Structure 1
Amino acid sequence: MSKKIMSLIMLMVLIASFGLVGCGKDAATTAKVLKVGTDAGFAPFEFQDEKSKEYVGFDVDLIKALGKQMGYEVQIQNMNFDGLIPGLEVNSIDVAIAGMTITDARSQKVNFTKPYYQSGLTIVVKNDNTAIKSFKDLEGKKIAVQIGTTGATEAKKIKDAQVREFNNAPEAFMELKAGGVDAVVNDKPVNEYYIAKSGSKDAKAVGEPQQAEEYGIAVAKKNTELAGKLDKALEEIKKNGEYEKIYVKWFGKKPGN
């Protein structure tokens, strides 16, 4: 083989190599990304791990599993709960998942997926509180809630109650511990998680759960295609067992138990 032919072959290999590199770069830049907004102060659904500083929780694992099922790279953004729907409206995020209850008022602004979790509202008081045993007993009391939640909405309906709104659930619980309020009204699993983590030494849950609620994943009103993809992926991970695996990890029991 002549040197001329050898040189031509090497040139062709080199050109092909550059072509492959270029294709790889294009593939990387066209990877589908799902921008997810959450409020990382709502354990066990979403919170920041103290050691790793990563966002973790039931909702975080769930949206990552859904993203994987759909072929998306999931990017989590932490923001205030009351900023999630506006974020969807201006397209700064694609999806909001933050223990968000499906309500008529919210459904007028965003599209929700099918429900992925059923909850309800409960009351948390300090251990030595014997005066509050039900929602009726909250009349005229100081109540801490998380801003923008259904707990805040319901607390404001209580006669003569002094409702104080906080940016996240931990702040509300801190105010209870400090004695600034008589009770916290929030979603049952969040309240149970706080009591479990505090070792039941600071607080207790009282009364029966109120207002059965269903959580949904929110997308922009016009983005019906994404809502459909999320619904399909949710159905698929329920069938393949991934949803149950995530549920047991965070709640210690199977769904429906």
Structure 2
Amino acid sequence: MFKPLTQLGTAAFVCSVFASAAQADKLQDVLDRGYLIAGTGSTNSPWHFMDANNDLVGFDVDMLRLIAKGLFDDSEAIEFVNQSGDARIPNLATDKVDVACQFMTVTAGRAQQVEFTIPYYREGVGLMLMADGEYADYDALKAGGSGITVSVLQNVYAEEMVHAALPEATVDQYDSVDLMYQALNSGRADAAATDQSSLRWYMTQNPDRFSDAGYGWNPQSYSCAVKPGEQRWLNFVNSVLHEAMTGVEFNTYAASFEEWFGVQLDPPQIGFPIEYK
């Protein structure tokens, strides 16, 4: 039979609940520590890579610095943990990092293991062309039919993915990104199917050499992630990212977007919040 808690028992239970909540307050833990511990990679431009000065840079890195700035008004109050892609979720689960921003695609399966933030980038596949090549744009490639060859990174879904955009094209798969781009440079491929972020980065670095065919498909959302159950911490990181894209830190976000992707963003419309339209 159920027995009601005594006053003392009730008080002890409530204290226990609040103690547990306090222990689980990641935001306060980070503030008390005085710096952010952030997980990301170091080998994938324009997201996270080492520059000529051996400094960690990239769009993911800029997003993490925005979080540090929101916490401490200091974008340098941050310790980076260099991690592989398969360490992103385990490092969150074991508290080795406070947050991971590492071009992490949102999936339903991953959402059962981490708490995803709001997306800070929408990825997709694009077609890279040589600026002085035979084919000027997507329409020209599609008109080329079976005479078109597309290089792509080797993947079980690679042929299906390319044929979603160019149904008749010949698909050449390569086991490295460098070989995929070499095929385009050497003329063995008429186009390279690659992430649109990579396409924009290569065009930014080589504006007279490469061009965008002007067609994108296979959308994916990139979000940061935190450990499950840390709602206050998740709310804070979401607030930072939201205001970076729509509010007080828009200029910082827009400058980073232009640096890494070569695209100037239009300022958010003033007036009624566009999120609710």
Report the TM-score when normalising by structure 2.
0.61
> Aligned residue for 2:272?
none
Aligned partners of 2:45 and 2:66: how far apart in 1?
19
Q: Report the RMSD for the aligned CA atoms in angstroms.
A: 3.9
Q: CA offsets per residue over residues 23-80 of structure 1, 9 Å max, x none?
A: xxxxxx943432322344221x333221x21112232122111122123832223344
> Aligned residue for 1:59?
60
- Indicate how the Cα distance of structure 1 residues 198 and 186 shifts in structure 2: closer, same or farther if over 3 A, else same: same
Whether 2:133 is the aligned partner of 1:128: answer yes
- Indicate how the Cα distance of structure 1 residues 179 and 90 shifts in structure 2: closer, same or farther if over 3 A, else same: farther
Aligned partners of 2:99 and 2:56: how far apart in 1?
16
> Aligned residue for 1:42?
45
Aligned partners of 1:180 and 1:110: how far apart in 2?
42
> Aligned residue for 1:31?
34
Aligned partners of 1:82 and 1:60: how far apart in 2?
18
- Count residues in correspondence: 219
Whether 2:264 is the aligned partner of 1:253: answer yes
Q: Match of 1:99, as an amino acid?
A: F
| Aligned partners of 1:112 and 1:216 also within 8 Å | yes
> Aligned residue for 2:221?
214
Alignment of 1:1-257 (within 5 A): 30-43=33-46, 45-50=47-52, 52-71=53-72, 73-126=77-130, 127-128=132-133, 130=135, 133=141, 143-145=151-153, 155=158, 157-158=160-161, 161-166=171-176, 172-173=180-181, 176-177=184-185, 183-201=191-209, 203-238=210-245, 241-251=248-258, 252-255=263-266
Name which one, 1 or 2, has greater alpha-carbon Rg: 1
TM-fit CA distance, 1:197: 0.9
Aligned partners of 1:97 and 1:190: how far apart in 2?
17
Percent of aligned pairs with the same amino acid = 20
TM-fit CA distance, 1:209: 0.9
| Aligned partners of 2:41 and 2:49 also within 8 Å | no
Aligned partners of 1:78 and 1:172: how far apart in 2?
26
| Aligned partners of 1:85 and 1:110 also within 8 Å | yes
Q: Which moved further from structure 2: 53-62 or 100-109?
A: 100-109
Alignment gaps of 5+ in structure 2: 1-31, 164-169, 269-277
Aligned partners of 2:146 and 2:105: how far apart in 1?
23
- Indicate how the Cα distance of structure 1 residues 61 and 108 shifts in structure 2: closer, same or farther if over 3 A, else same: same
TM-fit CA distance, 1:181: 6.3
| Aligned partners of 1:139 and 1:161 also within 8 Å | no
